[in-house]
């Protein structure tokens, strides 16, 4: 459905503004995740510190979006597509904020890790991270294009992330078992892997919200899942 | 259960067609809201349901309107009896220039519904109680109805409408002249009344339609563009015109 502009121009502007802030927040999260992964895989402390410092920017977007949503509901009483835009923005901002937090947590752990990590571990982490980054990008594209099929693609792709997470976890556990000295780094890497997987989950949540935004109905059925996780956690 | 079934209804004012091929089922004991821009035909459709359009000389109605499976446009239909079964409340409160008691007892009197003064007293009291007005007026039943506030007058009109125990109540923008508190009282009343009556309400307030109704029909330029559950219409309508109208994107 293509929407004509609102008769009340200020209402139109407020919705456009909300939409723009979601896009900016999404881009900030994409950047944070990208830098966090680059920081850990290339051992770049500057990137890690940048992610930690920039998280405040993402938190501020969430607060701003929440304020805009409350104002829209109180003052405009949005209906139909406008209601879905408004409610979806609130839910998306909450998931995006978590993505920012998890990227920050990865970066904090990066600063504590030993300089030399085994190549097989870095490769396994790179594989799952690349997949999650791709998912996040596709999700934000789906939002920009208001595309339900693109959102469904992301939703279905969560399964692959689960599988890659498990492979990465297996590598970390192997590393932990090799030598007691690996305990600190290995534990951080387990959390990093789990954080990457959680970012994938939040990305899938956002994709579900985009589907609802476009279609006005919820994606039905259970989210596709990969092999049973090695480390149990909230799905 | 379907209480009213409109089938292929056309309405003409002289040569000008006001409604085009309207087919709509109205559920029993539920509230159906009719929405749409001014002049879209929603009030014209409402007036078809108790043949109020008969009083307009140049107005002609085609098609079937079945109430309890009886076509009210049939020549054998007794219009006085029909209007006893299908009550109406208008935009502007219009109490008779008589006492509160007489306002409510007028209908039951002309329809011979009470055999004694006591029976009539009971009808008046029950009607005023159902209209949530009894407590406010029980000590002033013999004062003029026109002396009440706007919201009270509208509830008096509702009491007058329900005094003849109609099966259906038609409401044509019943709150448009009322303040928010009086509006809330009428909306609460509508919720209560639907237990015993089928209600069809024309309203310009999207929020009111969303609050009080279970079904909504959207009219535009004499056509019924979309109808369905209120939930669906206000969250995810199928038709672009419906969406444009309820979100304020029209014209």
pLDDT at A99 over 70: yes
Helix A183-215 vs helix A119-145: crossing angle, to nearest 10? 20
Q: Would you call A80 and B234 a contact, using CB atoms and an 8 Å cutoff? A: yes
232-251 in B: which are within 8 Å (CB) of A? 234-237, 240, 242-244, 246-251
Q: What is the pLDDT of residue B62?
A: 95
> Could you tell me which chain A residue has the CA closest to the CA of B239?
A1
Distance from CA of A153 to the nearest CA of B (A): 23
How far is Cα A185 from Cα A188, in angstroms, rounded to an integer? 5
Q: What is the pLDDT along chain B (251 residues), one digit of tens a residue?
A: 999 999 999 999 999 999 999 999 999 999 999 999 999 999 999 999 999 998 899 999 999 999 999 999 999 999 999 999 999 999 999 999 999 999 999 999 999 999 999 999 999 999 999 999 999 999 999 999 999 999 999 999 999 999 999 999 999 999 988 889 989 999 999 999 999 999 999 999 999 999 999 999 999 999 999 999 999 999 999 999 999 999 999 75
Q: Would you call A7 and B246 a contact, using CB atoms and an 8 Å cutoff? A: no
B26-to-A223, B38, B89, B213 alpha-carbon distances in Å: 39, 22, 18, 12
- Within-domain flag for A130: yes
> Token pair of A173, please?
């556990």
Q: Which residues of A touch B242 (CB under 8 A)?
A: 80
Q: Would you call A80 and B237 a contact, using CB atoms and an 8 Å cutoff? A: yes
> Could you tell me which chain B residue has the CA closest to the CA of A83?
B235
CB contacts < 8 A (A, B): 48
Q: Which residues of A touch B236 (CB under 8 A)?
A: 80, 84, 215-217
- Within-domain flag for B208: yes
Range of the domain at A126: 9-215
- The residue of A13, A76, A80, A217 whose CB has the most chain B CBs within 10 angstroms, and thus the best one to mutate to test that interface, is A80
Asked if residue B212 lies in contact with residue B33, where contact means CB atoms within 8 angstroms, the answer is yes
How far is Cα A225 from Cα B220, in angstroms, rounded to an integer? 47
Q: Which region among A56-60, A143-147, A174-178 has the lowest average model confidence (pLDDT)?
A: A174-178
Distance from CA of A80 to the nearest CA of B (A): 4
Q: Would you call B243 and A3 a contact, using CB atoms and an 8 Å cutoff? A: yes
Count of structural domains within chain B? 1
Q: What is the pLDDT of residue A229?
A: 59
* Burial status of residue A176 (CB atoms within 10 A of its CB: 0-12, 13-18, 19 or more): middle
- Within-domain flag for A13: yes
Q: What is the pLDDT of residue A225?
A: 73
- The residue of B33, B180, B235, B247 whose CB has the most chain A CBs within 10 angstroms, and thus the best one to mutate to test that interface, is B247
Count of structural domains within chain A? 1
Distance from CA of A2 to the nearest CA of B (A): 8
- The yes/no answer to whether this complex scores an ipTM above 0.85 is no
- Within-domain flag for B214: yes
The residue that leads in pLDDT, A28 or A219, is: A28
Q: Would you call B246 and A78 a contact, using CB atoms and an 8 Å cutoff? A: no
What letter would DSSP give residue B27? Answer: E
Task: Please choose, from the candidates B170, B169, B168, B160, the residue with its C-alpha nearest in 3D space to the C-alpha of residue B42.
Answer: B170
Read off the CATH number of the domain in which A18 is found: 1.20.58.220
- Within-domain flag for A122: yes
Asked if residue A118 lies in contact with residue A126, where contact means CB atoms within 8 angstroms, the answer is no
Q: What is the pLDDT of residue B13?
A: 95
- Within-domain flag for B40: yes
Q: Which residues of A touch B207 (CB under 8 A)?
A: 77
Mean per-residue pLDDT for A93-98?
98
Mean pLDDT taken over chain A? 93
Q: Would you call B236 and A5 a contact, using CB atoms and an 8 Å cutoff? A: no
How far is Cα B153 from Cα B103, in angstroms, rounded to an integer? 10
- Split at pLDDT 50, 70, 90, the class of A232 is very low
- Within-domain flag for B206: yes
pLDDT at A234 over 50: no
pLDDT in tens, A194-218: 999 999 999 999 999 999 999 999 9
Range of the domain at B217: 2-246
Strand pairing category for B16-27 and B2-13 = antiparallel
Q: Does B101 touch chain A (CB under 8 A)?
A: no
- Split at pLDDT 50, 70, 90, the class of A9 is very high
pLDDT at A233 over 50: no
- Within-domain flag for B251: no
pLDDT at A132 over 90: yes
Read off the CATH number of the domain in which B231 is found: 3.40.50.300
């Amino acid at each position: 459905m293509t929407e004509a502009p609102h008769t009340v121009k200020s209402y139109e502007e407020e919705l456009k503004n909300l939409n723009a802030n979601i896009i900016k927040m999404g881009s900030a999260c994409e950047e944070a995740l990208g830098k966090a992964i680059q920081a850990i895989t290339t051992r770049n402390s500057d990137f890690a510190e940048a992610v930690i410092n920039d998280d405040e920017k993402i938190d501020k977007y969430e607060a701003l979006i929440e304020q805009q949503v409350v104002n829209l509901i109180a003052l405009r009483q949005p209906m139909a597509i406008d209601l879905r835009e408004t409610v979806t923005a609130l839910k998306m901002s909450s998931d995006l904020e978590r993505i920012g937090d998890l990227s920050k947590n990865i970066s904090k752990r990066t600063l504590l890790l030993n300089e030399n990590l085994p190549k097989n571990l870095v490769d396994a982490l790179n594989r799952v991270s690349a997949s999650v980054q791709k998912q996040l990008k596709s999700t934000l594209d789906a939002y920009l294009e208001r595309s339900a099929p693109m959102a469904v693609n992301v939703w279905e792709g969560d399964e692959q992330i689960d599988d890659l997470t498990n492979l990465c976890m297996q590598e970390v556990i192997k590393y932990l078992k090799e030598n007691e000295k690996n305990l600190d780094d290995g534990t951080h890497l387990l959390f990093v892997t789990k954080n990457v997987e959680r970012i994938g989950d939040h990305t899938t949540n956002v994709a579900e919200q985009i589907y609802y935004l476009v279609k006005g109905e919820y994606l039905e059925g259970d989210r596709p899942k990969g092999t049973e996780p090695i480390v149990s956690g909230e799905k | 259960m379907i209480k009213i079934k409109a089938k292929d209804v056309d309405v003409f004012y002289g040569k000008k067609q006001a409604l085009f091929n309207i087919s709509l089922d109205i559920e029993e004991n539920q509230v159906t809201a009719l929405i749409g821009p001014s002049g879209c035909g929603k009030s014209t459709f409402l007036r078809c349901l108790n043949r109020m359009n008969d009083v307009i000389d140049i107005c002609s109605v085609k098609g079937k309107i079945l109430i309890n499976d009886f076509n009210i446009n049939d020549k054998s239909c007794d219009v006085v009896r029909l209007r006893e079964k299908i009550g109406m409340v208008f935009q502007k409160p219009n109490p008779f220039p008589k006492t509160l008691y007489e306002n409510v007892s007028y209908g039951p009197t002309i329809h011979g519904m009470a055999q004694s003064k006591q029976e009539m007293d009971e009808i008046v009291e029950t009607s005023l109680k159902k209209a949530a007005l009894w407590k406010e007026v029980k000590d002033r039943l013999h004062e003029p109805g026109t002396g009440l506030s706007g919201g009270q007058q509208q509830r008096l009109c509702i009491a007058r409408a329900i005094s003849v125990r109609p099966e259906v109540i038609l409401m044509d923008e019943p709150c448009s002249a009322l303040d928010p508190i009086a509006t809330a009282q009428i909306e609460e009343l509508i919720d209560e009344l639907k237990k015993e009556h089928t209600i069809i309400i024309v309203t310009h307030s999207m929020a009111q339609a969303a609050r009080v109704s279970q079904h909504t029909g959207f009219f535009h330029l004499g056509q019924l563009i979309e109808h369905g559950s209120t939930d669906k219409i206000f969250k995810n309508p199928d038709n672009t015109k419906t969406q444009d109208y309820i979100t304020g994107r029209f014209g």
